[in-house]
Amino acid sequence: MTAMTQKSFHLVSLGCAKNTVDSESMAQLMLEGGYRSSLQANDADVLIVNTCGFIGPAKEESYQVLGELVAQKRTDQWLIAAGCLSQRYGKEVIDRVPGIDGLLGTRRWMDILKLVGQLDRRQSPEPLYHLPENAATVGRDEGEVLRIARQGASAYLKIADGCRRPCAFCAIPLIKGTLVSRPMESILAEARALQTAGIREIILIAQDSTDWAHELGQREGLATLLEAMVNEVTDVDWIRILYNFPGSVTDRQIEVMAKHNQLIPYLDMPLQHAHPATLKRMRRPANMDWVYRTLDKMRAAIPDLALRSTFIVGYPGETEDEFETLLNFIEEIRFDRLGVFTFSFEPGTTSEPLGDPVPQEVKDERKARLMELQQRISLENNQAQVGKTLDVLIEGHGEIEGSAEPVAVGRSYRDAPEIDGLVFVEGGAPIGEIVPVKITGAMPYDLSGEVETVRNVITLEGLSLAN
Ligand code: SF4
């Protein structure tokens, strides 16, 4: 490496928003260590890939990115594979992609500078490992590193890491270990910093947000945290909570969400299935009465609640009858947003003995049927928005086919970033602002409309105001 010039790193973040937060934390440490960030892999001294190892397609993508970087890597560059794939498969990752210089486990992201220093002093080409043998044993040693990932006027804030649930299909507890909650004071300090930076939306994330502070003995941890947040960050317009575990949304949480406008009326509750027998085989809460009761309670307490869920089709033993129960449930509940995954066989999970008996074509066909149903429901739900005025957080500029008009693109409270829909705003609007938009058009997943009036004009550092 060149001694006189400032060293640089190039970081590729794969997978979910929780991984993005770990990537941002590593980037922060590298910047504090004197490195600059480079958008070009060939310009950088250190290449970091924060991998995903959750399910088959995500693993393949991680291997592909690592392979591409190895193929173009110079001998004076270090390639580090961090994150879930490295934690889960260890040396196997290097066997499959020879040329990787170091592996960093999921809860060892804070070792990034140490690992780079060791690579700089390394006497042999042998790769170096920073992998806790058991992710569950790793405690809190995050120091002062921010646990946020900012995207325009929104920011993800990680409140906990790991998961203690027993879901049979899921590799996350194997990779991440059990739940470790971050202290309330650290979370609030970061929320205050985001407010000072002009952030309009804070999105709380964890593998299971409803489990926050459970291991610290708090039974109503999330509700307590939400109340503290609304008191601390009164200027943040929207606080969104992702990943609510079924059975763990309490009456107190519903009460707190109903009471504070800042806690936007959006519930993301991954249910995974609706047939009790499938849910039992998944080792998930199978009490569908609770689901119906809780959704009714939430819809009664929180007007205009936007509901999001995710489901798995083709789980081992899923019969046509079980699948149809799921279809009927989706027809009945009419979710606003829905994610559907086909079952991915993951060795080492407790579902491993069940194998992967549902043929891929059956999985794909069930997914297609479910998505077709949801597309109709989503379109009808969107059509019901026409004529309403929704606050929309403007995030960019785009175009509507066949129109030369300027168009701004944003999200309403009904849309979490990357996973939900968009609102196209005819006539344009300034990026980084929340503007009231009269909805005039509905598509299956997106809406369109025009700005009524502009209010709350705040210029965000680093964001340009168009107009
Ligand atoms: S709640 Fe279940 S599906 Fe979600 S991360 Fe934990 S074990 Fe996996």
State phi, psi for 277 to the nearest 5 degrees.
-70, -40
The answer, yes or no, to whether any atom of ligand 1 lies below 6 A from the CB of 35, is no
Enumerate long-range contacts of 419-423, CB under 8 Å, 24 or more apart. Answer: 419/308, 419/337, 419/339, 420/308, 420/337, 420/445, 421/337, 421/378, 421/382, 421/445, 421/446, 421/447, 422/446, 422/447, 423/390, 423/392, 423/447, 423/448, 423/449
Q: Give CATH 2.40.50.140 domain extents, the chain.
A: 389-451
Q: What is the Cα–Cα distance from 284 to 292, expressed in whole angstroms?
A: 16
Do 264 and 413 meet the contact criterion of CB atoms below 8 Å apart? yes
The answer, yes or no, to whether any atom of ligand 1 lies below 6 A from the CB of 269, is no
171 CA to centre of ligand 1 in angstroms: 8
Q: Average pLDDT of 343-347? A: 95
The answer, yes or no, to whether any atom of ligand 1 lies below 6 A from the CB of 106, is no
The percentage of residues in the chain with a pLDDT greater than 90, rounded to a whole number, is 85
Do 449 and 440 meet the contact criterion of CB atoms below 8 Å apart? yes
Which atom of ligand 1 lies nearest, measured to the CA of 245? 1
Q: Average pLDDT of 31-57? A: 95
Measure the CA angle with vertex 110, ends 108 and 115; round to 5°: 80
Q: Give CATH 3.40.50.12160 domain extents, the chain.
A: 8-137
Confidence band of 403 (pLDDT split at 50, 70, 90): confident
What class has domain 148-383? alpha beta
The answer, yes or no, to whether any atom of ligand 1 lies below 6 A from the CB of 167, is yes
Confidence band of 150 (pLDDT split at 50, 70, 90): confident
Q: What's residue 142's pLDDT?
A: 59
For ligand 1, atom 4, name the residue with the nearest CA.
207
Mean pLDDT of the chain: 92
Confidence band of 145 (pLDDT split at 50, 70, 90): confident
For residue range 63-101, list pLDDT tens digits in order: 999 999 999 999 999 999 999 999 999 999 999 999 999
Domain 389-451 architecture: Beta Barrel (2.40)
- β-partners of residue 202 are 155, 239
Which atom of ligand 1 lies nearest, measured to the CA of 272? 3
Q: Give CATH 3.80.30.20 domain extents, the chain.
A: 148-383
CATH 3.40.50.12160 given to domain 8-137 = yes
Q: Average pLDDT of 272-286? A: 98
